[in-house]
Structure 1
């Protein structure tokens, strides 16, 4: 869904913070889309006595921004404020008997999603006709981090993962119409999966909002063509092994696999400790790998997160120096006095075996280094930069 621009909007919105033994960074970019429809949440210290708990989320809106923005502002209160979340004996996470049990959290998150979805439907019904026709929806991927557990929450095709001991330990599963469980529910509600979309239109099978797909009479909220029900997974924390959590919209996952993104983030953490910069590196890399969507990523570093490694810093500096020298060589050796444009320089580099490129990011993650080296010799026109984005799409 959504129209595309003639050239991407590459300005980023970034943030960072820390607390409860966690550090986090956030970055988002509109990219090629005509509108920025993503939103995100980062809350350290939750209400109702859960000061040792934290909540992070990415909301990927579609057909408008209304649902994503409303969820960004109100989903957490719907989760922590309902009776299911607050019920049950404590699990000892913070030494407070009033804290919710794992079972209560799982039930409460589900209830919170169903509540906010119904609440938004009611809000639309009470507004004027233009708002009542709002067709926007949003996926949601989140983590709720307690002192003993990480609760992964997913509704839609945004995705979250946990890196532990140098590898992907857990990742959420995308809710796509082609999945057998999702297809069965859609068909039972009288719908069809056409070109991998609900009724040939919507590319996700679970989402908040999207009320045009939630009007089947005689069916409950979780039995509609599109369901607002999240999947919730409780992962016991491993303080020594847990490295980081990544939450991202599908604009990231369209061009990077779980392992690629995990390896890339780990490699960048070993080079510098700026989490905003790591998130920005992820988004830039995905742009040059060919992502056409809005892009948002939240990185949460846990106790076992990689620290700066002098050897990794040295290799990265040597790589940048090598690329700068190689670009200069390509320009010097251009035949007939005709200086190749940036696209052709990158095309040449893409055919070469370059050592120590960042895993998962490869040459795309060093595109800014290549451009800077090029501009020292030949200033790069803006259209060349845009063409460079299109070039990388063919090599990802």
Structure 2
């Protein structure tokens, strides 16, 4: 099931200026004046300098792709994805709640965050699971290490087959990070290749999260330099911002080195987690989420939202909006997987949420009236600025004032409409 939620917002002047200044600072590090994508490439040494369009839009694309489903053993899931400020959408996903056959009790989910184009991410989203399932080891539930090896082999085979396609289609410069979860009746197998991330909440706390593969990480840097590369400006050869990915074959040409020993390795880091009744939810998300919010903050926020919202698509949408309002300029994609032990709707939490929204509406009205006393109609940014410096009890943990911005915006426009109608009436009765 897929739905799209449409909308548009003008980029506030201060945000537009921040984006422009950020582009200038980034471009000053690199030849050619390019504004870089989060995981994309900058021109390397010896390459012809050229000017390319800004990777950012004047206003974000707010259409949200959402999807939901469930597995017969009690798992429910939702996906939320949005292009945001990026000029192109390069995120893809794969959600399979039941694999079928002898793996009918197994599920697979993955987020693919492409860079230097979307072709590689799209290809991998269509083929990675097939390569994993083609290995015999994935069916050996009694041998978790063999399942782990099968997942790794699936990644390596995907990259191998992708190479021939990339040569034919001209995708050598494109790549994608991947974070995936293969869920069996007894284990969760999480595979990470790049800087997308998985986070498991157990008993209300972060129980596990993957480590991002960045070029400056000591072991990653050692491999890069051994393969003839360098790390500068926290990027491989001053260009690529991730050290593991599928694709990126221009970084995989070192002779006498295995695929996993190249500057960019396609080998995932696979972790085996034994399932527990205390497991609440698992998040798979691209770096457009993690650049703006920590593991602990997101865990607390989702834990709280699940107590006031039964629609997982809406929870994903709230996370996306939160990341957007906290300053994410990237594509934003999240898959939320809820286990039977996930938080349930709470009457107490619903009452607290209603009280909070009433308080915010009254605060907005109060601020609007105070600013209106100066003789000018308050703009939204002025109201938000004052409200941000006001102590507001009961805000969602991990979300803060940004997580209630939609409520605040609605209250602002209600006040503006009320005032606009009140002024003519006052004139007519004077």
Q: 1:47 Cα deviation (Å)?
A: 4.6
Please tell me whether the aligned partners of residues 24 and 300 of structure 1 are also in contact (alpha carbons under 8 angstroms): yes
Q: Which protein has greater RCO, CA pairs closer than 8 Å, 6+ apart?
A: 1
Q: 1:124 Cα deviation (Å)?
A: 2.3
User: Which consecutive residues of structure 1, in runs of 5 or more, have no partner in the other structure?
Assistant: 92-100, 380-396
Per-residue CA distance 1:282-313 (angstroms, 9 max, x = gap): 00000000000000000000011000111111
Q: 1:136 Cα deviation (Å)?
A: 1.1
- Pick aligned residue for 1:76 from 107, 129, 134: 129
1:307 paired to 2:360: no
1:122 paired to 2:164: yes
Aligned to 1:98: none
Please tell me whether the aligned partners of residues 172 and 247 of structure 2 are also in contact (alpha carbons under 8 angstroms): no
- Pick aligned residue for 1:30 from 74, 83, 90: 83
Matched pairs, number: 364
Aligned to 1:287: 324
TM (normalized to structure 2)?
0.83
Aligned to 1:390: none
Aligned to 2:354: 317
The 3-state SS of whatever aligns with 2:215 is coil
The 3-state SS of whatever aligns with 1:212 is helix
What aligned pairs does 1:293-372 form with structure 2 within 5 A after superposition? 293-334=330-371, 335-372=373-410
Separation (CA, whole Å) in 2 of partners of 1:297 and 1:262: 13
Q: 1:134 Cα deviation (Å)?
A: 4.2
TM (normalized to structure 1)?
0.90
Please tell me whether the aligned partners of residues 84 and 111 of structure 1 are also in contact (alpha carbons under 8 angstroms): no
Q: 1:332 Cα deviation (Å)?
A: 1.2
Structure 1 consecutive aligned stretches of length 4 or more whose deviation exceeds 6 Å: none
Aligned to 2:273: 235
1:262 paired to 2:304: no
The 3-state SS of whatever aligns with 1:233 is strand
Q: 1:71 Cα deviation (Å)?
A: 1.1
Change (3 A) 1:66 1:133: closer
1:221 paired to 2:274: no
Aligned to 2:196: 158
Separation (CA, whole Å) in 2 of partners of 1:354 and 1:111: 51
Please tell me whether the aligned partners of residues 251 and 292 of structure 1 are also in contact (alpha carbons under 8 angstroms): yes
The 3-state SS of whatever aligns with 1:305 is coil
- Pick aligned residue for 1:5 from 38, 49, 57: 57
Change (3 A) 1:47 1:76: farther
Please tell me whether the aligned partners of residues 141 and 147 of structure 2 are also in contact (alpha carbons under 8 angstroms): no
Q: 1:84 Cα deviation (Å)?
A: 4.2
Please tell me whether the aligned partners of residues 243 and 303 of structure 1 are also in contact (alpha carbons under 8 angstroms): yes
Q: 1:48 Cα deviation (Å)?
A: 5.2
Q: 1:219 Cα deviation (Å)?
A: 1.0
Separation (CA, whole Å) in 1 of partners of 2:172 and 2:273: 37
Please tell me whether the aligned partners of residues 149 and 237 of structure 1 are also in contact (alpha carbons under 8 angstroms): yes
Aligned to 2:425: none
Q: 1:21 Cα deviation (Å)?
A: 1.4
Change (3 A) 1:157 1:217: same
Separation (CA, whole Å) in 1 of partners of 2:407 and 2:370: 20
